[in-house]
Amino acid sequence: MSVLVIAEHREGELREITLEALGAAAKLNAGEVKALVPGSETEFLTRELSLLCSEVIELKDPRLDPPLGEPWLKAILDFCVSEEFQVILLGATSWGMELAPALAESLEAPFAPDVTALEYGENLLKGSRMVYSGKLEAKWQCENASTCVATVRPGAFDPPEPGAEAKIREVAAVLPDDQAVKFLGYLKQAAGDVDITAAKILVSVGRGIGGPENIALAQELADALGGVVSCSRPVADKRWLDKSRQVGTSGQTVKPDIYLALGISGAFQHLAGMQSAKTIIALNKDPKAPIFGVAHYGIVGDILELLPLITEKVAGICAA
């Protein structure tokens, strides 16, 4: 079986989701896992990818540098019909959500969106995804199809372990004669906004923080730890913090090394966005709060009393 992962990159950087899609591909124990990298100046990306798959294919053309659906679809489609792949994986990102269904439709292949688990057995590709805001897990399998296109949910898979260096092949891209959509440029997030998905340490506050005046307590702890403050949905809904900091099914999926959940009950919509964190530490005054069910360490107590003490302790350790 041959699996193709379509690499997502932006402004010269490989998106983490590409590594995670390669991790999903590795779970299939396929004979071949290939990575397709559309763009022109992609040498630094292909070198990184060459340790994580069996072949890297550079689909060369400068018109593929901006992530535009129209030229990417034409070029990727042309490549996919010229070679045979049983599984084609992309990220369930805004870019992947634009490209993958169109690619599946053009290939007349079934499409499995937002997968959180993937396996291959009895000649069938099988997987699952969360539905009804994470309340249910839907299991599916691809039948009577020579190719299946799927998008993988960010944070659901670990990148594969690096292996031997794979060969790198260059292929000329076939592009549409004309493009209806032109790339004008990137709009940067307003200054002060942070990318919580990239943070290694998240100090996350829930409704238990009490009010916007107490957010500073979490910020002080985040500063002492070198982390970033994130939040549950009620905190974003009340505008105590920006929506971009919300973790969960209707916010961001995060996978930091350390996730501190402060005054967060642990509703499934929140857990779905953070339970892959390496270490989860929960502080809650309710010993029966569901967050303790996923936490590696738990403290039962009042966060407003404990936060200044913890920050002082952390700052002392860091200064020593």
Ligand X SMILES: Cc1cc2nc3c(=O)[nH]c(=O)nc-3n(C[C@H](O)[C@H](O)[C@H](O)COP(=O)(O)OP(=O)(O)OC[C@H]3O[C@@H](n4cnc5c(N)ncnc54)[C@H](O)[C@@H]3O)c2cc1C
What residue numbers does the annotated binding site for FAD cover? 207, 232-233, 246-250, 263-270, 284, 302-303
First-to-last C-alpha distance (Å) of the chain: 55
Interaction of residue 304 with ligand X, rule CB under 6 A:
yes
In DSSP terms, 126 is beta-bridged to 119, 141
**Which of residues 289, 295, 307, 310 is near ligand X by CB under 6 A?**
289
Region of 55-63, 72-80, 113-121, 206-214 interacting with ligand X (CB under 6 A): 206-214
Interacting positions 122-141 with ligand X (CB under 6 A): 133
Smallest distance, ligand X to C-beta of residue 92, A: 15
Residues flagged as binding site? 207, 232-233, 246-250, 263-270, 284, 302-303
CA distances from 222 to 57, 101, 230, 311 (A): 41, 40, 10, 8
Closest to ligand X by CB, 201 or 304: 304
Interacting positions 14-53 with ligand X (CB under 6 A): none
Can you read off the two tokens belonging to residue 170?
């260059």
Which residue do the tokens 């350390």 mark? Answer: 258
Closest to ligand X by CB, 67 or 206: 206
Closest to ligand X by CB, 33 or 199: 199
Any idea what the Cα angle at residue 41 is, between residues 39 and 42, rounded to 5°?
Answer: 70
Smallest distance, ligand X to C-beta of residue 5, A: 27
Interaction of residue 249 with ligand X, rule CB under 6 A:
yes
**Number of residues this chain uses to bind ligand X (CB under 6 A):** 28
Closest to ligand X by CB, 126 or 207: 207
Smallest distance, ligand X to C-beta of residue 211, A: 11
Interaction of residue 270 with ligand X, rule CB under 6 A:
yes
Interaction of residue 155 with ligand X, rule CB under 6 A:
no
Q: What DSSP element (H or E) covers 21?
A: helix 16-26
Interaction of residue 244 with ligand X, rule CB under 6 A:
no
Among 157, 156, 10, 152, which residue's Cα sits nearest to residue 92? 152
Interaction of residue 219 with ligand X, rule CB under 6 A:
no
Rounded CA-CA distance 97/99 in Å is 6
* Residue 56 contacts residue 121 (beta carbons within 8 Å): no
Rounded CA-CA distance 9/12 in Å is 6
In DSSP terms, 247 is beta-bridged to 252
Can you read off the two tokens belonging to residue 208?
């238990």
Interaction of residue 230 with ligand X, rule CB under 6 A:
no
Smallest distance, ligand X to C-beta of residue 29, A: 34
Q: What DSSP element (H or E) covers 49?
A: helix 43-49
CB contact set of 70 (below 8 Å; sequence gap of 6+): 176, 179, 180, 181
Binding site for ligand X (CB under 6 A): 133, 206-208, 232-234, 246-251, 263-265, 267, 269-270, 273, 283-286, 289, 302-304
